[in-house]
């Protein structure tokens, strides 16, 4: 098929605006999937995605419609997976910008739109869910027209659920999205935009062929990684892998490289042929991890399994970073970088489900800059590396530009939430007659854990946030240590603002008392700052009725048994080894 018959595009939207449902309708309309095999959210391949109703991984698929090849990439919508979106945008020429007719424009709509504009993509604005009784089609059209600076009649209205106007939208993609600009006569250049590991085929690279062509068994060279491989198998996505003999310029497909070392394949790298000098393809920005947490196997023998599992996950998620670390009492593990709390939660759950690992997870924290008394700067991304207070001259923390979109009726509660996190007001903009865009600057640590959930809760689901890091600023911060039976538990340590220490210490000890399983002995739970106890709770011992079998007789017999039990519990408290289940660490992540 000629290159002018190819269209490459993505669907971008805020979370839960109907991307996966629209992709389902496209698959049905183009007969890409047999009806008997069709199921809801077909392109969401992981059980985790279906359970949570959220796309986590981008998924490409090739469709054929009216003589055209349509390569679609379904993308995530959550703020934590913006990097997935940016990678998919580098491989296409057009984007469907999908907006929910009920919720209207959300913060991630703006963020994804900005990414698409940076790639100079053709943007097709679409309003979804027009079939719902509470749909605000006119108001959403005004918002979108104002945002894109276009007339309202250029905005498509559809119902992905019942299929209304889906065919006309697909025809618009053919008409509006340009064909790929590469040339098959030129030397091979292909961009890696994703990858996965296959135990038989090695690393499978997802590619967009920009120039030239590639054939089965052809030798390949990865320009940045400077490693060689072979196209043992290549083909396209349907969405299952469909082998082909060759791929041409403009096509999106995959290469089974046969390379068994995951570190040799880098997302954003340019594939060419050996001994050929070419200009690298412009990839995309490296991901900037903003949350760091330590992962340790509950069983020290699982260290190598955890290492291998992280390497395989990094292939499918280039925004994950990890490096080895070792801590007393925990053994060997990894310090991992994530794009946010939801990203942390998803990776942790995937490690447990897909690789059957039982993990200890430290409390996530952002990276801080410490200036010591000798005026030396160093970065801290783990509470265990936090220096003694007398060695600290100044602490700096990352600040962000924060965009919060809420309906006008929730402006008051949103402003109170922003006040609680000590955010600084920058600007207010109005989107249509009912939406407000609040622009603030705030410390990253205040929004990274649960601010998103608080905004959603306070605005009955209508509010949304997006942020980008701007700079480091001076902060008044301290480290809260958690002591269980007098032993410091580094994974539970937390960095907080000085004004929060008593409130946070009390919250942490109370929550631990609720979720920790009872021991054979009474367990003191303490929060401390610089060695001073600021909060305490006591978890009662697991009870056993030692006098249940004693009937009648002198009470001294029962008293003797109770005293013996008391001494035993005291001895256990001194010598007993405390084992904390991994679910306790995971529950503390959600604090």
Cα gap 582→586, rounded to integer Å: 6
Local confidence band at 505 (pLDDT 50, 70, 90 cut-offs): very high
Question: Could you report the per-residue pLDDT of 98-156, keeping only the tens digit for each?
Answer: 999 988 888 878 888 888 898 899 999 999 999 999 999 999 999 899 889 999 999 99
Alpha carbon distance 457, 579 (integer Å): 35
Mean pLDDT for 518-527 is 82
Q: Mean pLDDT across the stretch 406-416?
A: 90
Looking at mean pLDDT, say which of 18-32, 167-181, 550-564 comes out highest: 167-181
Mean per-residue pLDDT for 376-401?
A: 87
Query: In order of start, what are the domains of the chain with their CATH numbers?
Result: 3-176 (3.40.50.300), 189-272 (2.40.30.10), 291-364 (3.30.70.870), 369-474 (3.30.70.240), 478-589 (3.30.70.2570)
Residue 290 has pLDDT above 50, yes or no: yes
Phi-psi region of 171 (alpha: psi -120 to 50; beta: other; left: phi over 0): alpha
Which of 33-37, 42-46, 210-214, 584-588 comes out lowest in average pLDDT? 42-46
Higher-pLDDT residue of 383, 498: 498
Q: Which residue has the higher pLDDT, 541 or 252?
A: 252
9 has a pLDDT exceeding 90: yes
Burial 46-71 (b: 16+ CB within 10 A, else e): bebbeebebbbbbbbbbbebeebbbb
For residue 476, pLDDT over 70 is answered with yes
Name the range with the highest mean pLDDT among 413-417, 468-472, 484-488. 413-417
Mean pLDDT of the chain: 83
Mean pLDDT of 550-558: 61
Block residue for tokens 């955010």: 423
Is the C-alpha dihedral spanning 273, 275, 279, 280 positive or negative? positive
- Mean pLDDT within 191-198: 84
- pLDDT over threshold 90, residue 178: yes
Asked whether 89 and 5 are in contact (CB, 8 A), the reply is no
- 209 near 248, Cβ under 8 Å? yes
- pLDDT value for 544: 58
Using an 8 Å Cβ cutoff, are 328 and 553 in contact? no
Question: For 439-448, what is each residue's pLDDT tens digit?
Answer: 999 998 888 8
Using DSSP's 3-state secondary structure scheme, residue 50 falls into helix
The pLDDT tens digits for 57-98 are 678 899 999 999 999 988 775 666 666 677 788 889 999 999
Separation between Cα atoms, residue 180 and residue 321, nearest integer Å: 33
Cα–Cα distance measured from residue 397 to residue 477, given in angstroms and rounded to the nearest whole number: 9
So what's the pLDDT on residue 546?
A: 47
pLDDT band at 307 (very low <50, low <70, confident <90, very high): very high
Percent of the chain at pLDDT > 70 equals 85
Q: Which of 84, 116, 31 is nearest to 206 (CA)?
A: 84
Quote the pTM value: 0.74
Mean pLDDT of 214-223: 91
Sign of CA dihedral 128, 129, 131, 137: negative
Looking at the predicted structure, is the pLDDT value of residue 509 above 90? yes
- pLDDT class of 36 with cuts at 50, 70, 90: low
In 87-137, the DSSP E strands lie at 94-100, 122-128
pLDDT of residue 534: 94
Looking at residue 345, its pLDDT comes to 83
What is the pLDDT at residue 56? Answer: 58
Q: Is pLDDT of 550 > 80?
A: no
What percent of the chain shows pLDDT beyond 90?
32
Where residue 7 falls among pLDDT bands split at 50, 70, 90? Answer: very high
């Amino acid at each position: 098929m000629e290159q002018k018959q190819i269209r490459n595009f993505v669907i971008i939207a805020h979370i839960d605006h109907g991307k996966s449902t629209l992709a389902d309708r496209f698959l049905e309309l183009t007969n890409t999937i047999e009806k008997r095999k069709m199921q809801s959210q077909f392109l969401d391949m992981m059980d985790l995605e279906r359970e949570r109703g959220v796309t986590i991984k981008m998924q490409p698929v090739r469709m054929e419609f009216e003589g055209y090849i349509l390569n679609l990439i379904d993308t995530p919508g959550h703020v934590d997976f913006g990097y997935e979106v940016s990678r998919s945008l580098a491989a296409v020429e057009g984007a469907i910008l999908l907006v929910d007719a009920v919720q209207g424009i959300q913060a991630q709509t703006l963020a994804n739109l900005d990414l698409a504009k940076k790639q100079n993509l053709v943007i097709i604005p679409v309003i979804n869910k027009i079939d719902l009784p509470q749909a605000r089609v006119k108001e959403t059209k005004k918002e979108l027209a104002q945002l894109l600076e276009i007339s309202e009649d250029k905005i498509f209205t559809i119902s992905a659920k019942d299929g209304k106007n889906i065919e006309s939208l697909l025809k618009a993609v053919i008409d509006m999205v340009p064909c790929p600009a590469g040339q098959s006569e030129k030397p091979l250049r292909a961009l890696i935009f994703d990858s996965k590991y296959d135990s038989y085929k090695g690393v499978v690279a997802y590619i967009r062929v920009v120039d030239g062509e590639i054939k089965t068994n052809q030798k390949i060279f990865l320009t940045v990684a400077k490693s060689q491989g072979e196209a043992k198998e290549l083909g396209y996505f349907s969405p299952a892998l469909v082998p082909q003999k060759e791929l041409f310029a403009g096509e999106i497909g995959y290469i089974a490289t046969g390379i068994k070392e995951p570190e040799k394949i880098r997302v954003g790298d340019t594939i060419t042929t050996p001994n050929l000098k070419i200009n690298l393809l412009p990839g995309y920005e490296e991901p900037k991890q903003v949350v760091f947490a330590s992962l340790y196997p509950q069983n020290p023998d699982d260290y190598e399994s955890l290492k291998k599992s992280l390497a395989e996950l990094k292939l499918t998620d280039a925004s994950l970073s990890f490096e080895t670390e070792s801590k007393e009492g925990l053994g060997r593990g990894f310090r991992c970088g994530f794009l946010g709390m939801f990203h942390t939660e998803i990776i942790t759950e995937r490690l447990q489900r897909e690789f059957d690992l039982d993990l200890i997870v430290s409390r996530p924290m952002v990276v801080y800059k410490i200036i010591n008394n000798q005026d030396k700067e160093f970065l801290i991304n783990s509470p265990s590396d936090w220096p003694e207070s007398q060695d600290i001259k100044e602490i700096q923390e990352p600040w962000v530009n924060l965009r919060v979109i809420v309906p006008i009726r929730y402006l008051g509660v949103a402003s109170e939430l922003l006040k609680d996190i000590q955010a600084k007001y920058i600007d207010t903009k109005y989107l249509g007659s009912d939406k407000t865009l609040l622009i603030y600057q705030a410390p990253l640590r205040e929004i990274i854990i649960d601010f998103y959930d608080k905004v959603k809760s306070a605005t009955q689901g209508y509010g949304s946030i997006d942020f980008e890091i701007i700079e480091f600023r001076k902060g008044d911060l301290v480290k809260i240590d958690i002591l269980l039976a007098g032993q410091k538990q580094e994974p539970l340590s937390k960095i907080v603002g000085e004004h929060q220490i008593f409130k946070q210490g009390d919250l942490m000890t109370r929550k631990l008392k609720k979720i920790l399983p009872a021991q054979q002995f009474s367990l003191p739970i303490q929060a401390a700052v610089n060695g001073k106890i600021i909060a305490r709770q006591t978890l009662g011992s697991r009870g056993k009725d030692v006098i249940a079998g004693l009937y009648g007789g002198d009470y001294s017999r029962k008293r003797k048994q109770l005293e013996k039990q008391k001494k035993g519990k005291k001895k256990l408290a001194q010598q007993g080894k405390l084992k904390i289940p991994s679910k306790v660490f995971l529950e503390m992540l959600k604090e």
